Homo-oligomer: A and B are copies of this chain.
């Protein structure tokens, strides 16, 4: 034990106490330790002069800065290792132990990656092959830069949908109608190729921007921005995304040809448009789509139920893709039944090309939303797996990795990616051990792209819509959060609901913004509408609890301990002061006003002591007195009665209706900061009460709060360090000592200090 003795008079006392404590704490093992403290009452003045001495800072700022900026080969090596995590794990890769599991997991994931890539490209409003590109390049790159061993990077429904909304806004159908003069009558025809080319351009530039933002955030160590996406917010937001996705896929499922909407209220417009055209539903499409949904749902259920018995989950999605492609090809669904199919899938990869940066200015705000959502999805999943498998992921490196994946890939015509939850679960549950699994999945996609991509040309769009919808069913389960949150936290329920409603109605981008703003406001609300009350001592314990809540808490006569569960700053200082006056039952303004009227009245006329009280002055005074009493009564049942009696008596004898309270202790234990407005308000309170001969003292200030008070020059004039106590109990002991006033003699000197 390296106990330092305090200087000054406490020396010997402290030493002896410490010995007792030691004895008590180390003595017999089976008895309860005893809490025993005996010391003089401390106030801040004493603490400053005698008890605490600031430690001299041994390292100067310059030294620390130099230390931090020093360059060494070790540091450089660490930087390289942290930037390219593959260098740390690959040389050490235990081939025998891990490779087989990684291959199995990689193939299983690739089998899911493929249909999801095709399907989510539809969400992103670009031709399906770009979904395949997006399932290859970024996944490959993540192997080098990523720190998570289990997440599956690639296309993700929510992000794809957000991209889709922006793409459709920037390149709407209406921009691409061209006049085609076939035969005699000229009609406007949608130039699908020009539109899709434009849409790909928009999606690609957006992805470049997302990559740049994520990469810079990572370099700037801004990983913390994800913290604003609190869990209820993310769950409300993703549920809303699921609603958007289902609505956007309705038309493919039904084979109805409607426009795609974006922006606020797009959900409503989309549903309306589909319902309007529901008569043009293509029956074959619906039948095919519904059977896919049923099949996928059953497979999903089976996978869930026989999780432990199946070595790898049944790849329902690839089965659906293969079978429906086969059926479509065999029965010529596209030609005979007019079922919409995927259409042309070029074979091979595209050469790299610079994104069309001229589109950039319109996309800046959107890309921030996508970058943040993408990252926060990734990091939350990565953290979950890291925790489960006992390794650590680096949030900032994940941002850098995602940023590089998006940025570099975008030169190869991909759209923005992050990790997908469903796919990551496949990768992890099939035994994936390292990023090698992801690598293999990407290579499998590559194989399809360069060799057999054209095979999927007859794949009906309705099958892809079915895949998307079934994948998102899980998100609808999040509605169960509502009753759960109702029980645990109303504020978080509000965040969930605001995130959901705003995101459904305003679109995902504005919805996210509104939700974040709302989440921030709830914090303000929490600091601003504190719980407050009057504390009483639980006899013999040194603990103070709310007298309204606990039976054992009892007040000391003449001392009110006011507790408010917050810091004191501009937005709540007024409320703090008002609540203080109300809860303690001592309102200086009312008392002063009453006293003034009274004084005037006694000065003015001793003759007309008319007990019928119809004069205004008297009337007012009486009202005020009543008010004071009723506050008291409300607050403090048993004491209120006596005091009311004494007050009424006083009022009758025209004594000043002063309060029996001689000391008010402000419990600042929960206060973490104070600003100049708060400090001024408190000083004002001290002054006002001093005029009524009520002393106000502060208890339980933390050292950092006291430093703030110092720098705000609080301890000048009426406020002194001697009125600040380290604990409530110190303050109570001092107040009981220094105030000989008792309720029996409430007028003992109350008029001494009046100088307004």
Contact = CB atoms under 8 A, between A and B. Distances in A.
Given A26-B736, A539-B18, A703-B546, A42 B35 contact: yes
Nearest to A488: B712
A637 B740 CA distance: 49
Nearest to A547: B55
A42 B541 contact: yes
Nearest to A688: B387
A589 to B, nearest CB: 4
Given A25-B736, A227-B572, A489-B675, A2 B555 contact: yes
Interface string A62-106: 000000000000000010000000001101100000000000000
A351 interface: no
A676 B520 contact: no
Contact of A390 (B228, B592, B671): B592
Q: Is the interface of A mostly helix, strand, loop or mixed?
A: mixed
Interface string A525-562: 01100110000011111110110111111111100000
B677 A230 contact: yes
Nearest to A541: B39
Nearest to A15: B540
Given A524-B523, A549-B55, A639-B2, A37 B37 contact: yes
A702 interface: yes
Contacts of A712: 488-489
A33 interface: yes
Contacts of A572: 227
Contact of A672 (B41, B565, B733): B565
A92 B737 contact: no
A574 interface: yes
B91 A616 contact: yes
A14 B491 contact: no
A40 B51 contact: no
Most B-side CB within 10 Å, residue of A7, A37, A88, A572: A37
A480 to B, nearest CB: 15
Interface in A13-31: 13-18, 21, 24-26, 29
A500 to B, nearest CB: 17
A338 interface: no
A473 interface: no
A40 to B, nearest CB: 5
A682 to B, nearest CB: 14
Contact of A638 (B2, B5, B553): B2
A700 to B, nearest CB: 8
Interface in A482-502: 485, 487-489, 491-492
Nearest to A592: B390
A18 B729 CA distance: 13
Q: Which 6 A-B pairs have the closest CB atoms?
A: A14-B540, A230-B570, A92-B616, A17-B540, A37-B542, A392-B589
30 contacts: A4-B553, A6-B538, A6-B540, A16-B540, A33-B40, A33-B41, A33-B737, A34-B41, A35-B733, A37-B38, A39-B540, A52-B538, A52-B551, A52-B552, A52-B553, A54-B550, A91-B616, A92-B616, A230-B571, A390-B596, A487-B711, A489-B675, A489-B711, A526-B567, A526-B569, A526-B672, A530-B672, A565-B704, A566-B672, A669-B700
Given A1-B554, A34-B38, A37-B729, 16 more contacts: A6-B538, A13-B540, A26-B736, A29-B740, A51-B538, A88-B620, A224-B575, A227-B575, A391-B589, A524-B524, A526-B567, A527-B672, A530-B672, A542-B727, A565-B702, A669-B670
